[in-house]
A and B are shown apart, each in its own frame.
Chain A
Amino acid sequence: MGVLSTLVRGLVRGADRMSEFTSKRGSRTHNKGRGARPTGLRLPSRKFLSIKAMIPEFVVPHLEGFKLRPYVSYRTPKGTEAPVTAQRLFDEVVAPQVKKDFEEGTFSKDQLEKYGFEPTQEGKLLKLYPKNYVR
Chain B
Amino acid sequence: MRLTALLSMAARVIVPKDYRYGTNRPWTAAAKRMNPPGKKRRKVFVEPMEPEDWSVVKGDMVEILAGKDKGKQGKVIQVFRRRNWVILEGLNTHHRYVGKSTDYRGTYIATEAPLLLRDVALIDPSDRRPTQIDWKFTEEGERVRVSGRTGRIIPKPVVERRDGIVPQQWKDGPKDTSPEDTLEKTYVPSLKTLEEEVMEKLGIQENSRHQRSYWY
A binds B: yes
Docked Cα-Cα span, A88 to B190, in Å, equals 11
Docked Cα-Cα span, A81 to B199, in Å, equals 27
In which size bucket is the chain A interface? 35 or more
A133: interface (CB < 8 Å)? yes
Q: Is the CB of B3 within 8 A of A76?
A: no
Q: Is the CB of B190 within 8 A of A93?
A: yes
Residues of chain A with a CB closer than 8 A to B199's CB: 59
Given contacts A68-B181, A76-B183, A126-B196, contact A88 B189 (CB under 8 A): yes
Q: CB < 8 Å: which of A53, A67, A116, A126 contacts B181?
A: A67
A12: interface (CB < 8 Å)? yes
A108: interface (CB < 8 Å)? no
B148-205: which have CB < 8 Å to A?
165, 167-168, 170, 172-179, 181-185, 187, 189-191, 193, 195-196, 198-199, 201-202, 204
Residues of chain B with a CB closer than 8 A to A18's CB: 1-4
A57-95 toward B: CB 8 Å interface, digit per residue (1/0)?
001010000011111111111010100100011001110
Q: Is the CB of A75 within 8 A of B3?
A: no
A26: interface (CB < 8 Å)? no
Residues of chain A with a CB closer than 8 A to B175's CB: 69-71
Q: Is the interface of B mostly helix, strand, loop or mixed?
A: loop
In which size bucket is the chain B interface? 35 or more
Given contacts A12-B2, A61-B201, A70-B175, contact A132 B182 (CB under 8 A): no
B6: interface (CB < 8 Å)? yes
Given contacts A18-B4, A59-B202, A92-B189, contact A79 B183 (CB under 8 A): yes
B206: interface (CB < 8 Å)? yes
A14-55 toward B: CB 8 Å interface, digit per residue (1/0)?
101111000000000000000000000000000000000100
B100: interface (CB < 8 Å)? no
Q: Is the CB of B185 within 8 A of A73?
A: no
A3: interface (CB < 8 Å)? yes
Q: Is the CB of B176 within 8 A of A59?
A: no
Q: Is the CB of A61 within 8 A of B176?
A: no
Docked Cα-Cα span, A128 to B184, in Å, equals 29
Q: Is the CB of B191 within 8 A of A77?
A: no
Docked Cα-Cα span, A92 to B168, in Å, equals 36
Pull 27 A–B residue pairs with CB atoms less than 8 Å apart, ordered by A.
Answer: A7-B3, A7-B6, A18-B2, A59-B204, A67-B181, A67-B184, A69-B175, A70-B175, A71-B177, A72-B176, A72-B177, A72-B182, A73-B170, A73-B176, A73-B177, A73-B178, A74-B167, A76-B179, A77-B179, A84-B187, A88-B189, A93-B189, A94-B191, A123-B209, A125-B209, A125-B210, A133-B195
| 20 further interface pairs, Cβ-Cβ under 8 Å (given A12-B6, A69-B175) | A3-B3, A7-B2, A12-B2, A14-B2, A19-B3, A61-B198, A68-B177, A71-B175, A71-B176, A72-B177, A75-B168, A76-B179, A76-B182, A88-B189, A93-B191, A116-B191, A126-B193, A128-B193, A132-B210, A133-B195
Give B residues with C-beta under 8 Å from A.
Answer: 1-4, 6, 165, 167-168, 170, 172-179, 181-185, 187, 189-191, 193, 195-196, 198-199, 201-202, 204, 206, 208-210
